Amino acid sequence: MTLSQDFPTNTRVSTDSFPVNPAKSSWFVPLGRSPEPIPVPGRNCTIRPDVSLSSMTSFRVGGPAELYVAPRQVEDLLASLEWAETRGLPITLLGAGSNLLVSDRGLPGLVISTRHLRRIEFDAETGRVTAGAGEPLPRLAWQAAERGWTGLEWAVGIPGTIGGAVVMNAGAHTSCMADLLVNTQVFTLDGSVDRLTPADLNYSYRTSALQISSQSPPHQVRLVAQATLQLQPGADPAKVLETTTAHLNNRRTTQPYHLPNCGSVFRNPTPYKAGWLIEQTGLKGYQIGGAQVAQRHANFILNCGGATATDIFHLIQHIQETVEQHWSLLLEPEVKMLGEFQMA
C-alpha cells in the first residue's frame, strides 16, 4: 500500500508527499545531537530515523526516510499515524514498493511500511477471502489456487500488496481488483474506521477514489488496512495451479524481470498499448545513466546497475516528450513518484 497519490491526466509528474497538518510543530533533532529511535507511545513499535528506502523499492533506488516505522498490528499503525499527525509531519505509506520511484533526496516526515500487516482468512462458506494490506498479492494468489479457489490466477505475477492493489485497481489478463472486491476496511488520519465497497471507490482503469493528490485536505486521506475478495471455491486445485502457473510464465516470457524495475511505467491510453507506442518511436534500449528502456517490453524501465532515481525520472520525461512529439499523445505515468525531482 502506498499513500493515495495520483497524477492529474494533464501532468507529467507528481513529486510531493502528503502534508498532514503543516500548521503544527514538526519533529526535529536539536543541533549537535544524533537522531535516536523513538518509541511509539503505548505500543511495542519504534520509529527509526534516516532509514534507506532503496532496498524497499523494486527499482532499488531512492534516498532515506527522515523517519520510518513498520507496524506489525493495525493498532501500531493507528498510533504511528497519530504520532505523526500531532507533529504536523508528512506521511507516506509504503507497501511492497513495486510501483514507486522515490527521490534520491529521500522523503520527509514519517514513512510507514505496511509490509508486516499480513494475514489471510479464507471463508469456505461464502467463498470470500480477507487479507491484510501488507499481504503480497502473489502469495494470496498461490494460496487460493492451492485450495482450488478461482478468481486470482491473473494476480500471481503482480509484485505488489493487497493494499496497493485495492488503491491502484491492479489488474492483468482482462481482470482486475474491481471484479473481486467485496469491501475494504480503511482508516482516516484521525483514526476513524470505514468499510467501502467498489461502488464507493469509483473504480476505473488503474484508478480509484483512494488515489488523491498531494494538495487534497487530510480528511480525504483513507488508508487501506484490509480487503475482502469474492472468489469461487470448489475447483480442482491442480487445474487452478496449472492456470496460475501459465499466467506467471506468460509474464516472465513477455516482461523483463531479470533486472530491478517497477513494472509498467505508463498507463495504456485507450485504444493503444503504451509499450507499442514507445517501441514505434525507436526508444527500446535507450539509456540515461543506469536506467534503460527494456528491450523485451518498452513500457518497462530497467535499473541496469548504478541507476539513480534521477536517471529514471529523466528517462520517463524523455519517453513522454518523444511519444508526444511522435503521436501527439501524452503518456500518463502509472508509477508513483515520491519526493523532490528536478526537471531535465
Q: What per-residue confidence (pLDDT) applies to 172? A: 87
Q: What per-residue confidence (pLDDT) applies to 303? A: 98
Instruction: Examine the residue annotation and report whether 242 is marked as an active-site residue of this protein.
Output: no
Q: What per-residue confidence (pLDDT) applies to 61? A: 97
Q: What per-residue confidence (pLDDT) applies to 29? A: 52
Nine-digit cell string for 307: 541507476
pTM: 0.82
| Each residue's pLDDT tens digit, 217-255 | 556 678 899 999 999 999 999 999 999 999 999 888 888
Strand partners for 46: 39
Q: What per-residue confidence (pLDDT) applies to 23? A: 36
Instruction: Examine the residue annotation and report whether 334 is marked as an active-site residue of this protein.
Output: yes
* Residue ranges of the chain with per-residue pLDDT less than 70: 1-34, 212-220
Identify residue 81 by its one-letter amino acid code.
Answer: L
Q: What per-residue confidence (pLDDT) applies to 21? A: 39
- 171-172 and 175-176 strand pairing: antiparallel
User: What's the rounded Cα separation, in Å, for the pair 32 and 23?
Assistant: 26
| Each residue's pLDDT tens digit, 5-53 | 332 333 344 344 444 433 334 455 544 455 789 999 889 899 999 999 9
From 4, 98, 103, 264, active-site residue:
264
228: DSSP letter: E
Instruction: Examine the residue annotation and report whether 206 is marked as an active-site residue of this protein.
Output: yes
Q: What per-residue confidence (pLDDT) applies to 31? A: 46
Q: What per-residue confidence (pLDDT) applies to 1? A: 29
Domains of the chain: 120-253 (3.30.465.10), 258-338 (3.90.78.10)
Q: What per-residue confidence (pLDDT) applies to 251? A: 86
Mean pLDDT (the chain) is: 87
For the residues of 270-322, what is the DSSP string, one character each? TTS-HHHHHHHTT-TT-EETTEEE-SS-TT-EEE-SS--HHHHHHHHHHHHHH
Q: What per-residue confidence (pLDDT) applies to 12? A: 41
User: What's the rounded Cα separation, in Å, for the pair 162 and 187?
Assistant: 15
From 206, 222, 251, 267, active-site residue:
206
Q: What per-residue confidence (pLDDT) applies to 159? A: 86
User: What's the rounded Cα separation, in Å, for the pair 320 and 326?
Assistant: 10
